[in-house]
C-alpha cells in the first residue's frame, strides 16, 4: 500500500514547472512596488523633522484602512504605513490565487485524478501545494528584506516586517487550502476566500481604530501587532505561524476524508430539467455568475458600512490634531476628500469583482464546458456578449450597493442626511472606470486568452497610481492615467466628463475587439 505522501516531491516539481511564471510575477511585482515606495518616501522624508511632520499630520485618520502602525515617526514606519493598503489586499489575494490554482482548480479540471491514478499518495497534492506556496512567500519575504538594504531603515525592524508578511501569507494560504477541501468549485473557493479577506479587513480596522482585542482576530491585525519599527514583538508572529500550521493540518485531514472531485460540502444539485429561463443564454450566464455577485455585494456592503460607521471617529481624530484642526474648520471639503478616497475604493472593489468573475470564462473553456455549450448551436458572439453584459450589470450592482451602504452609514455617523445623494452620485461616476477593466478582460480573453491575467497587473498598477500617487509625487496629469483618476474627483471636485467619455468609448472598443477575436480563434485555445 502506497504512503499517503508518496510522490510529494514529484508533485512539487510539477507545480514549480507549471506555476513559476505567476509566482515570479507576484514576487517581482510586490518587491518592485515596495522599492518604488521606499525610494519615494526616503527622498520625501529625509530628515527627522519631516518624519515627525508626517506622523503629526497623519494622526489616526487612516487607521481604518491601513491599520495602526507602530514607529510612524521613523522611515520604516512611514514605509509600512504607505504600503499597508497594498499588503491588506495583495497578500491575501496572492495566497488565494496560488493555493486555489494548485488545489481546487487542478481537481476541478480532472488533472488531479490523473495524478492520483499513478503512484501519487492521497495527501501529496495538498501537501505539495502548501509547501510550494509557503516557499513562494518565503522568497517574497526575502525579496522585501533585500529591498530594505537599499533604504536606510532599521535592520531588525526590516527583518520583523518581512517575517510578518511571510507569516500572514501562510495563514491565508492554509485557509484557502481548507476551503479547497470543503467547497467543490474553484470560483466558490475564490468568492469565499475574498469574503474572508474582507472580514479580516473589517475586524482589523475596528480593532485598530478602537485599540481593543478585536485586532487579535485578524491575520492582518497580527501583522500590525508585530510592531516591526516600533517595539518589535515575536508573539503575533508565533500566533500566525501556529494558526497557519493548524489550518494546514485541517486541510490535510479533510483531504484524506473526502471523494476526489468533490468537496466536504456537497455541491447543490439543480432540478432534473431546466426551466426555459435557465436554458436560455441569459439564464445560463446569470446562474453562473450569481453566486459571485451575491458574495461580492455582501462583502463590499459590509466593508463600506464599517468604513462609513467609523467616519465620525476619523473626523474626530483629525479635529483633535492641532496641526489639522484649524484647516478642517476652514475647509469642510476635507471631509469630502476622505469620502472621495473611499468612494474610489468602492470602484476598485467593483473592478476586482469584474476581473475575478470574467476570469472564470477561461475556466469554462479549458474544462471543455464551453465546447458543449457551443455544440448546441449557440453562437460564440452571443455567448461572450451575454456573459459580458451580465458581469457589467453585476459590477453596477456591486458599486451602487457599496456606495449606498457607505453613504447611509456616513450620514448617520456624521449626522448629515444631505450627504447621501452626493456620496451615491460620486460612487456612480466610478462605474465607467470599472467597466473599462471589464472591456480589457474580455479583449484579452477573446484575442489572447492565456494573457487574460495581464488585466490584473494593469488593475494593480491603476490602484497603486490612485492611492500612492501623492506619495510617489505624481502629477495630476499622471494620476489621471488611472481609470479611477480619469473620472474626476467627485465629490471634492468636478466630474471629468471628457475622461468619462473616453473610458466608455474605450470599453466599447475593447469589448468589440474581444468579440471579434473570439469568433476567429480556436476553441479551446491552449
Q: Greater confidence, 202 or 172?
A: 172
- Do 348 and 237 fall within a single domain? no
- Do 32 and 171 fall within a single domain? yes
The count of C-alpha atoms lying within 13 angstroms of the C-alpha of 496, restricted to the half-sphere facing its C-beta, is 21
- Do 232 and 313 fall within a single domain? no
Q: Is 28 within a domain?
A: yes
239, 266, 293: which is the final residue of a domain? 266
Q: Is 271 within a domain?
A: no
- Residue 317: alpha-carbon gap to chain centroid: 28
The mean pLDDT of 330-344, rounded to a whole number, is 73
Residue 26's domain comprises 1-266
The mean pLDDT of 286-314, rounded to a whole number, is 83
| Residue 231 to residue 381: CA distance in whole angstroms | 59
Q: Is 255 within a domain?
A: yes
Provide, rounded to the nearest whole percent, the portion of the chain with pLDDT above 90: 35
pTM (2 d.p.) = 0.80
Assess whether pLDDT exceeds 70 at residue 268: no
List, as own/partner pairs, every contact residues 468-476 make where C-beta atoms lie below 8 angstroms and the sequence separation is at least 24, other chains included: 468/37, 468/82, 468/85, 468/86, 471/37, 471/40, 471/41, 471/44, 471/82, 472/36, 472/37, 472/40, 473/40, 473/44
| Residue 39 to residue 75: CA distance in whole angstroms | 11
- Do 209 and 285 fall within a single domain? no
The mean pLDDT of 2-16, rounded to a whole number, is 82
Cβ neighbors of 109 (< 8 A, separation 6 or more) are: 366, 367
> Range with the lowest mean pLDDT among 1-10, 137-146, 182-191, 319-328?
319-328
Q: What is the DSSP string of 351-362?
A: HHHHHHHHTHHH
Q: Is 273 within a domain?
A: no
Residues 104, 129 contacting (CB under 8 angstroms) = no
- Do 204 and 339 fall within a single domain? no
Number of neighbours of residue 286 by Cβ within 10 angstroms? 18
240, 266, 292: which is the final residue of a domain? 266
- Do 258 and 316 fall within a single domain? no
At 187 the three-state DSSP class reads: helix
Instruction: Enumerate the β-bridge partners of residue 47.
Output: none
Is the alpha carbon torsion for 508, 510, 513, 517 positive or negative? negative
Across 79-88, 268-277, 394-403, the highest mean pLDDT is recorded for 394-403
- Do 233 and 284 fall within a single domain? no
The mean pLDDT of the chain is: 85
| Residue 81 to residue 227: CA distance in whole angstroms | 11
- Do 352 and 400 fall within a single domain? yes
The mean pLDDT of 329-354, rounded to a whole number, is 79
Peptide bond into 524 cis (omega under 30): yes
Give the residue carrying C-alpha cell 468589440.
Answer: 512
- Do 48 and 124 fall within a single domain? yes
Q: How confident is the model at residue 311 (pLDDT cuts 50, 70, 90)?
A: confident
Assess whether pLDDT exceeds 50 at residue 328: no
Read off the pLDDT of residues 396-438 as tens digits, 9 standing for 90 and up.
999 999 999 999 998 998 888 888 998 999 999 999 999 999 9
224, 244, 266: which is the final residue of a domain? 266
Q: Is 149 within a domain?
A: yes
Task: Provide the pLDDT for residue 42.
Answer: 83
- Do 245 and 288 fall within a single domain? no
Is the alpha carbon torsion for 454, 459, 462, 464 positive or negative? negative
- Do 99 and 209 fall within a single domain? yes
Read off the pLDDT of residues 449-475 as tens digits, 9 standing for 90 and up.
888 888 988 898 888 888 777 766 777
Q: How many domains does the chain have?
A: 2
CA 440, 444, 446, 451: dihedral to nearest 10 degrees?
A: -160
Q: Is 427 within a domain?
A: yes
Residues 22, 101 contacting (CB under 8 angstroms) = yes
Q: Is 272 within a domain?
A: no
Q: Which three cell numbers stand for residue 289?
A: 455568475
Q: Is 131 within a domain?
A: yes
Q: Greater confidence, 174 or 359?
A: 174
- Do 255 and 308 fall within a single domain? no
Assess whether pLDDT exceeds 90 at residue 338: no
Across 170-184, 199-213, 455-469, the highest mean pLDDT is recorded for 170-184
The mean pLDDT of 196-207, rounded to a whole number, is 86
Q: How confident is the model at residue 261 (pLDDT cuts 50, 70, 90)?
A: low
Amino acid at each position: 500500500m502506497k504512503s499517503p505522501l508518496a510522490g510529494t516531491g514529484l508533485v512539487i516539481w510539477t507545480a514549480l514547472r507549471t506555476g513559476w511564471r505567476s509566482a515570479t510575477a507576484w514576487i517581482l511585482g510586490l518587491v518592485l512596488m515596495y522599492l518604488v515606495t521606499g525610494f519615494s518616501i526616503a527622498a520625501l522624508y529625509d530628515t527627522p523633522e519631516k518624519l515627525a511632520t508626517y506622523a503629526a499630520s497623519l494622526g489616526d485618520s487612516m487607521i481604518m484602512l491601513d491599520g495602526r502602525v507602530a514607529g510612524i515617526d521613523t522611515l520604516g514606519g512611514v514605509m509600512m504605513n504607505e504600503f499597508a493598503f497594498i499588503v491588506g489586499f495583495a497578500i491575501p489575494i496572492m495566497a488565494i490565487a496560488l493555493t486555489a490554482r494548485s488545489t481546487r482548480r487542478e481537481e476541478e479540471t480532472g488533472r488531479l485524478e490523473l495524478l492520483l491514478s499513478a503512484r501519487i499518495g492521497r495527501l501529496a497534492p495538498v501537501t505539495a501545494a502548501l509547501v510550494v506556496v509557503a516557499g513562494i512567500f518565503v522568497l517574497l519575504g526575502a525579496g522585501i528584506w533585500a529591498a530594505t538594504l537599499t533604504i536606510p531603515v532599521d535592520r531588525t525592524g526590516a527583518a520583523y516586517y518581512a517575517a510578518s508578511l511571510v507569516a500572514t501569507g501562510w495563514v491565508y494560504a492554509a485557509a484557502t487550502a481548507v476551503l479547497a477541501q470543503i467547497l467543490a468549485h474553484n470560483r466558490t473557493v475564490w468568492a469565499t476566500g475574498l469574503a474572508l479577506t474582507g472580514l479580516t479587513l473589517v475586524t482589523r480596522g475596528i480593532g485598530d481604530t478602537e485599540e481593543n482585542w478585536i485586532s487579535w482576530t485578524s491575520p492582518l491585525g497580527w501583522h500590525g501587532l508585530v510592531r516591526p519599527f516600533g517595539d518589535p514583538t515575536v508573539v503575533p508572529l508565533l500566533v500566525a505561524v501556529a494558526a497557519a500550521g493548524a489550518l494546514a493540518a485541517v486541510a490535510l485531514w479533510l483531504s484524506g476524508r473526502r471523494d476526489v472531485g468533490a468537496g466536504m460540502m456537497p455541491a447543490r444539485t439543480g432540478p432534473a430539467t431546466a426551466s426555459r429561463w435557465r436554458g436560455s443564454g441569459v439564464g445560463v450566464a446569470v446562474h453562473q455568475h450569481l453566486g459571485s455577485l451575491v458574495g461580492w455585494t455582501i462583502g463590499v456592503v459590509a466593508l463600506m458600512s464599517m468604513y462609513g460607521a467609523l467616519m465620525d471617529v476619523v473626523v474626530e481624530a483629525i479635529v483633535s490634531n492641532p496641526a489639522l484642526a484649524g484647516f478642517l474648520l476652514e475647509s469642510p471639503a476635507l471631509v469630502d476628500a476622505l469620502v472621495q478616497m473611499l468612494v474610489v475604493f468602492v470602484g476598485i472593489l467593483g473592478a476586482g469583482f469584474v476581473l475575478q468573475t470574467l476570469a472564470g470564462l477561461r475556466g469554462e473553456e479549458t474544462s471543455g464546458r464551453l465546447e458543449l455549450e457551443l455544440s448546441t448551436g449557440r453562437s460564440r458572439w452571443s455567448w461572450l456578449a451575454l456573459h459580458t453584459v451580465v458581469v457589467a450589470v453585476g459590477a453596477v450592482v456591486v458599486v451602487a450597493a457599496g456606495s449606498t451602504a457607505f453613504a447611509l452609514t456616513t450620514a448617520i455617523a456624521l449626522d448629515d442626511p444631505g450627504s447621501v445623494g452626493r456620496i451615491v452620485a460620486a460612487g456612480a461616476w466610478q462605474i465607467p472606470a470599472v467597466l473599462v477593466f471589464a472591456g480589457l478582460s474580455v479583449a484579452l480573453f477573446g484575442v489572447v486568452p492565456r494573457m487574460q491575467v495581464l488585466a490584473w497587473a494593469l488593475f494593480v498598477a491603476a490602484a497603486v497610481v490612485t492611492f500612492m500617487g501623492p506619495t510617489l509625487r505624481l502629477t495630476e496629469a499622471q494620476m489621471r492615467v488611472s481609470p479611477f483618476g480619469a473620472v474626476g474627483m467627485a465629490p471634492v471636485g468636478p466630474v471629468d466628463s471628457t475622461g468619462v467619455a473616453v473610458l466608455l468609448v474605450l470599453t466599447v472598443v475593447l469589448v468589440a475587439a474581444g468579440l471579434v477575436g473570439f469568433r476567429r480563434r480556436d476553441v479551446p485555445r491552449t
